[in-house]
Structure 1
């Protein structure tokens, strides 16, 4: 009887969130998109004119990030690290805590609960894929 109770408890604990199906995993961003590359955008910033952000995603699961606080801090931040995919294969979590939903030509910054940020600035929480680093030299970020 103890074994049956133990098995029931394990089943109940494991049923919190259904595992993605084989079809879901096969059609995930991780497996179907060319997600590697350079992404650029300017995120809203309450204490500056915007966070000019460039993220490069590199195989297997590495990133390089550059951030400049526009209009306030002349010292850019540069860092690198690793990221992991969530169980669905559509979201990456950088080792520094940022969470992004991956699409074919852009990434959306998500909140800590893995939800898209809403409101009037919702579309500004997006970085678009660019073709080369030269793009940034020829097209400086917009000043907000």
Structure 2
């Protein structure tokens, strides 16, 4: 019986680690407070090339297109499109291809699989800047 009590306390502590967003958090989220629709561009670090030249377009309702070009001696390109979902805070999007981005007014940061900013000497290079806006604030 003691073990069940201890497990309940552990589960309660884990659940308390990530608070649910409040009404104020949600209305102040990127999804609701900024014009996130637009075209973003940057060059991500690449361990086996000179960089990944990346352009992402986000549009209503939750659509994206992405174009990447592997820079260097053996350039390879990729183009794709799909949908994305907002996380419960309304500040992070998850592309259906698995990429995770934190959304700001004028840029996006590529996040790791734990929804955290990538650290290290190249941390600021995991960013794409808005180069063109589209439409208006999302109604949802």
TM-score range, shorter chain: 0.7 to 0.9
Point out where structure 1 has 5 or more consecutive residues left out of the alignment: 1-7, 133-144
TM-score (norm 2): 0.82
Q: Is 1:57 aligned to residue 58 of structure 2?
A: yes
| Secondary structure at the counterpart of residue 54 of structure 1 | strand
Match of 1:44 in 2: 45
Structure with a larger share of its residues in strand: 2
| Secondary structure at the counterpart of residue 131 of structure 1 | strand
Higher relative contact order (CA 8 A, sep 6+): 2
Q: CA RMSD in A?
A: 2.1
Match of 2:92 in 1: 91
Match of 1:104 in 2: 105
Q: Displacement of 1:19 after TM fit?
A: 1.5
Aligned length: 124
**Distance in 2 between the 1:39 and 1:93 partners?**
16
**Distance in 1 between the 2:98 and 2:43 partners?**
18
